[in-house]
Amino acid sequence: MGVEIKVEDLSKSFGKQLIWGDVTLTVPAGEICVMLGPSGTGKSVFLKTLIGLLKPDKGSIVIEGTDIASCSERDLYEIRKLFGVLFQDGAMFGSMNLYDNVAFPLREHTKKSESEVRDIVMEKMDLVGLIGAEDKLPGEISGGMRKRAGLARALVLDPEIVLFDEPDSGLDPVRTSFLNQLIVDLNAQIDATFLIVTHDINTARTVPDNIGLLYHRHLAMFGPREMLLSSEEPVVRQFLNAQRVGPIGMSEEKDADELAAEADQELPPLPPIPMQLEPSNGIPRRSQREPGEWCRENGITPPPGSFDQNMTMTTGA
Amino acid sequence: MATLTSSRALAPIGTAGKLFAFGLDVGRGLFRRPFQMREFIQQAWFIASVTIIPTALVAIPFGAVIALQVGGLIKQFGAQSFTGSAAVLAVVREAGPIATSLLIAGAGGSAIAADLGARKIREELDAMMVLGIDPIQRLVVPRVLACMLVAVFLNGLVSVVGVAGGYVFNVVLQDGTPGAYLASFTALAQLPDLWQGMAKALVFGLIAAIVASYKGMNANGGPKGVGDAVNESVVITFMLLFVVNFVMSAIYFQLVPPKTG
One digit per residue, the tens of pLDDT, for chain A of length 317 reads 678 899 988 898 888 888 888 889 999 998 999 998 887 788 888 988 988 888 899 899 999 888 988 888 888 888 888 888 998 888 888 888 999 999 998 988 888 899 999 999 999 898 888 888 889 998 888 888 888 888 899 988 889 999 998 888 777 888 888 888 888 988 888 889 999 998 888 888 889 999 998 888 888 889 898 888 888 888 888 888 777 777 777 766 667 777 777 766 767 778 888 888 888 888 888 888 888 888 888 888 888 877 776 555 544 43
Distances (CA, A) of B107 to A141, B76, B115, B159, B238: 31, 39, 12, 19, 12
Task: Say yes or no for a CB contact (<8 Å) between B134 and A77.
Answer: yes
How many Å from the N-terminal Cα to the C-terminal Cα in chain A?
Answer: 39
> Can you count the helices (H) and strands (E) in chain A?
11, 10
Distances (CA, A) of A256 to A149, A243, A262, B73, B238: 47, 18, 10, 83, 56
Tell me the pTM.
Answer: 0.81
> If you measure CA to CA, which chain B residue comes closest to A105?
B131
The residue range of the domain holding B121 is 36-253
Would you call A51 an interface residue with chain B, using a CB distance cutoff of 8 Å? yes
- Backbone CA torsion sign across B25, B28, B34, B36: positive
Whether the Cβ atoms of residue A34 and residue A204 lie closer than 8 Å to each other: yes
Which residue of B118, B127, B138 is in closest CB contact with A87?
B127
- Chain B residue numbers with beta carbons less than 8 Å from the beta carbon of A83 are 130
- Residues ≥6 apart with Cβ < 8 Å to B169: B63, B64, B67, B68, B71
Note whether residue B21 is domain-resident: no
Of the pLDDT bands very low, low, confident and very high (cuts 50, 70, 90), residue B202 is very high
Note whether residue B134 is domain-resident: yes
Give the DSSP H/E element, type plus range, for residue A289. Answer: none
> If you measure CA to CA, which chain A residue comes closest to B129?
A77
Residues, chain A: 317
Rounded to an integer, what is the distance from CA B82 to the centroid of its chain?
29
Write the pLDDT tens digit of every residue in A279-313. Answer: 888 888 888 888 888 888 888 888 887 777 655 55
Q: Give the closest-approach CA distance of A105 to chain B in angstroms.
A: 6
- Residues ≥6 apart with Cβ < 8 Å to A229: A205, A211, A240, A270, A273, A302
Query: Cα–Cα distance between A157 and A142 in angstroms, integer?
Result: 24
Neighbours of A94 (CB within 10 A): 14
Give the DSSP H/E element, type plus range, for residue A83. Answer: strand A83-86
Write the pLDDT tens digit of every residue in A204-263. Answer: 888 999 999 888 888 888 989 888 888 888 888 888 877 777 777 776 666 777 777 776
- Chain A residue numbers with beta carbons less than 8 Å from the beta carbon of B138 are 108
- Decide if pLDDT at B230 tops 90: yes
What secondary structure letter does DSSP report for B254?
H
Task: Say yes or no for a CB contact (<8 Å) between B122 and A81.
Answer: no
Q: Give the closest-approach CA distance of A311 to chain B in angstroms.
A: 39
Residues in chain B whose Cβ is within 8 Å of chain A: 118-119, 122-124, 126-134, 138
Whether the Cβ atoms of residue B195 and residue B155 lie closer than 8 Å to each other: no
Give the DSSP H/E element, type plus range, for residue A278. Answer: none
- Chain B residue numbers with beta carbons less than 8 Å from the beta carbon of A48 are 126
pLDDT of residue B253: 86
The amino acid occupying position B202 is L
> If you measure CA to CA, which chain A residue comes closest to B36?
A108
Angle in degrees, CA B213, B218, B220, rounded to 5: 135
Query: Which letter, b or e, does each residue of A285-311 get, where b requires 16 or more Cβ atoms within 10 Å of its Cβ?
Result: bebbbebbebbeeeeeebeeebbeeee
Note whether residue B43 is domain-resident: yes
Whether the Cβ atoms of residue A259 and residue A265 lie closer than 8 Å to each other: no
pLDDT of residue A92: 87
pLDDT of residue B203: 92
> Which of A53, A54, A55, A102 to mutate to probe the B interface, most B CBs <10 Å?
A53
- Residues ≥6 apart with Cβ < 8 Å to A264: none
Would you call A91 an interface residue with chain B, using a CB distance cutoff of 8 Å? yes
pLDDT of residue A251: 67
Note whether residue B60 is domain-resident: yes
Q: Give the closest-approach CA distance of A154 to chain B in angstroms.
A: 8
Query: Cα–Cα distance between A96 and B87 in angstroms, integer?
Result: 48
pLDDT of residue A118: 92
What secondary structure letter does DSSP report for A66?
E
Q: Average pLDDT for residues B169-181, to the nearest whole number?
A: 79
A114-127 vs A143-155: helix axis angle to the nearest 10?
Answer: 130
Give the DSSP H/E element, type plus range, for residue A114. Answer: helix A114-127
Query: Cα–Cα distance between A84 and B4 in angstroms, integer?
Result: 41
- Go through the domains of chain A in sequence order and give each one's CATH number: 5-297 (3.40.50.300)
> Which of A16, A50, A85 to mutate to probe the B interface, most B CBs <10 Å?
A85
Q: Give the closest-approach CA distance of B130 to chain A in angstroms.
A: 6
Report the number of distinct structural domains present in chain B: 1
